[in-house]
Amino acid sequence: MAAINGAWPAAGRQARARTINGKTIAARLLLAAVAAVVLVAAAIALAGNPRLFGLTVLNGLTLAALYFLVASGFTLVFGLMRVVNLAHGSLFLLGGYVGYAVGDASGSWFLALACGFAAAALAGLVLQAGVFRFMEGQDLRQTLVSIGLSIVLADIFLWIWGGEAYQFDPPQWLYGTVPLPLVGKYSGFRLVVLGTAIVIGVGLWLFLNRTRIGMMIRAGVDDKRMLAASGVDVQRVFAATFAIGAGLAGFAGVMGGTALSIAPGEDVRYLLASLVVVIVGGMGSITGAAIGALLIGLAETFGLAYVPTYGVVFTFLIMVAVLAFRPQGLMGGRT
């Protein structure tokens, strides 16, 4: 009898293993099929109009870089700290508006960049210390409160800055065009955005995985009580992390306002983009955020260039496919 009882768990484990292996094989086959379709479509597009294809790739990469700048801060706050801050887009808009005001008054684009980061970081610090620290683990309350805050902040921004679209003027040496093969000339500042995103991505990864503070942040998320028992001020660590994530949103606001523009409604657009990027890439993964931003940015630009009527569908098809076959995200771990 004991042998029979012991055989049931083993049989259950084998059945689960077969199920997991079947799902893995199906996911890989689907991924291979999608990759084949994408490669064939890319080859056809490249043969038909090489310049349009090259411009679309570059636009997709630079849009992905901008999405990553916003989503990297969202990854720290939502993906790593598990704080549902749906006012993250408002921090993007705040950084952009404050940066524009400072840049317009001082004439310095770099000062505008620094002040955009600082203003959003300070606002994030206030949100964490005054609101979210009292709602730890309460996802629904965090969601409702942050939505309310985003609505209030959007109305305040509209009252102060009006409904106009604002665009920054970068230094002259960043404003020109760069000669490139296949496309002729391309915006130099967009390439700066791409390079900035790469530098920030590598810096964040090193910060979280190779520094003592980064290890404390990850340890605090996994076991806050144990970290506090070791003498670390957990609330201060979390507040600093939230400020960095919010500051990156403000930084992206100035970069986005220079590459594109800052206007009412941009907060919702970049919040949704950040959500999709984190879902696709995986919770708390900087590498996943980079991959997610790359997929979403390229899908959006190729959709707008070749099938503008249904361009927005590609973004959500990617998200649905990831949720169906790898719910934890491309680079996320199983929980």
Could you tell me the pTM of the whole model? 0.86
Residue 93 has what pLDDT? Answer: 95
157 vs 26: CA distance, rounded Å: 48
Residue 320 has what pLDDT? Answer: 87
Residue 335 has what pLDDT? Answer: 47
Tokens coding 226: 């144990």
Residue 300's CB is within 10 A of a number of other CB atoms, namely 22
What are the 10-residue block averages of pLDDT along the chain, 335 residues in total?
Answer: 50 54 61 64 69 89 94 84 89 95 93 96 93 87 93 94 89 84 86 94 90 78 73 81 93 92 91 90 87 91 85 84 84 64
Residue 69 has what pLDDT? Answer: 93
The residues spanned by each domain of the chain are: 67-275
